[in-house]
Amino acid sequence: MVPIETKQAAENYGITLHYLPTYCPNLNPIERLWKVMTEYVRNNRVFKSAAEFRKVINEFFAKWPKIASSMVDRINNFQILNKVSSS
């Protein structure tokens, strides 16, 4: 549920709220980040232990500040749709 204050503010600013399905990973940036992390960390690799897996994930996120700018298009590449005429 969207709080009434949010609905009122959106109306005041002429914003139309669009509700997303409960689960829509293609629209959730954290899911996209998980996909990128998986490609860098997990693809074609077998880990001997959970500790080794955690270590590699931590290394990925430690270097994230250096590679984040090159990942913006992969994580925030939402398509902007033009308004369709109602006629």
pLDDT in tens, 30-64: 888 888 888 888 888 999 999 999 999 999 999 88
Token duo for residue 58: 């931590």
| Model confidence, pTM | 0.55
Query: Secondary structure of the chain: what % helix, strand, coil (to 5)?
Result: 60, 0, 40
Cβ 7 vs Cβ 17: under 8 Å: yes
pLDDT bracket for residue 14 (50, 70, 90): very high
Using left for φ > 0, alpha for ψ between -120 and 50, and beta otherwise, residue 44 falls in left
Q: Output the pLDDT for position 79.
A: 61
Helix (H) or strand (E) holding 36: helix 29-41
> Would you say the C-alpha torsion 4, 85, 76, 27 has a positive or negative sign?
positive
